[in-house]
Structure 1
């Protein structure tokens, strides 16, 4: 009985190891501008204000046969926020919002991936923003993968999540319609 249990444990460990070994590592292609971290927030209940972070980098591991073993990590420079309006960007960088002098980076690091359907998953991870770390769930969608024209191999994803500003110690009150920010992430990664 003990031999069968040990054999089953060894086989299970080998299968888990084989699944992990087939996951590929990718670097997010920010140099080629094939990656975006965008956001939108309601402006006074009348319209949407859109913005982006221009400077970030990251990596992920992915295996289509075992998406639950995927991992992602992204670091962005908060000072790179751009809403196409210099005075507003200066205000967003201030202590009222991102407090970039004290918190020059924001990070996301996944803690689990749960498949939710064909090519979709909930990516749970820790978001650190304005010096506060909170768990968030990114609704992710696999876009595609394959060879690129330069001899590389790429995989691409998009995802969204909504955060409450007060959860990240952003106390500036912009009115009841402007309490949450939707993050929209889209990127290609180049297999290493």
Structure 2
């Protein structure tokens, strides 16, 4: 009889441990102040910066179990604002974003890898101009010191424009594009 009780206690303990290690991830969205955009060299000297004003975002994340996390973004291409407004027609036109035909860009994660404290490699699919390529975001996600319901985020990756069907070496605008996410995730 004692053996049967001991087995029951052991099984119950294993079940409670199993449930504890599979906590429900929290649901997050980017704050309106978060910047999602890009930086690209123009004629080798100046930097063209773009920021998407309209973003739909969601992240399922539990810092205790980051391997089960996921993140998604949908960027409204026509909401792009540039630090050089004179380039808007060129960058939103057919040779680059082709905003009339492709109105959104999306990112969907497929893997979160822990690199260190609050440091992650997030692999996902970036879809832009009807082309989908795998990219890796080097990401810092850490609790905000001033706001406990938020996570500070800094994430970057580099893509090649022509991989997404954008004209190569056109108008002095560089081929390599730095994509940047900087701001905060807040609990939904």
The TM-score with structure 2 as length reference comes to: 0.83
- Equivalent in the alignment of 2:42: 43
Q: How many residues of Structure 1 are paired with residues of Structure 2 in the alignment? A: 178
What CA RMSD, in Å, does the superposition of the two structures yield over aligned residues?
A: 2.6
1:187 aligns with 2:186: no
Deviation at residue 69 of structure 1 after TM alignment? 1.5
Q: Deviations over 1:139-158 (max 9, x none)?
A: 0012324674xxx8222211
1:25 aligns with 2:21: no
CA distance in 2, matches of 1:164, 1:136: 11
- Equivalent in the alignment of 1:103: 102
**Which one of 150, 153, 156 corresponds to residue 154 of structure 1?**
150
CA distance in 1, matches of 2:150, 2:90: 37
- Equivalent in the alignment of 2:57: 58
Decide whether aligned partners of structure 1 residues 20 and 130 sit closer, same or farther in structure 2, where only a CA change above 3 A counts.
farther
Unaligned runs of 5+ in 1: 1-6
Q: What SS is found at the alignment partner of 2:163?
A: helix
**Which ranges of 4 or more aligned residues in structure 1 deviate by more than 4 Å?**
none
CA distance in 1, matches of 2:113, 2:37: 23
CA distance in 2, matches of 1:105, 1:129: 7
Which of 1 and 2 has greater Rg? Answer: 2
1:59-78 pair list within 5 angstroms: 59-78=58-77
- Equivalent in the alignment of 1:142: 141
- Equivalent in the alignment of 2:78: 79
- Equivalent in the alignment of 2:164: 168
CA distance in 1, matches of 2:22, 2:132: 28
Decide whether aligned partners of structure 1 residues 46 and 57 sit closer, same or farther in structure 2, where only a CA change above 3 A counts.
same
Deviation at residue 172 of structure 1 after TM alignment? 4.1
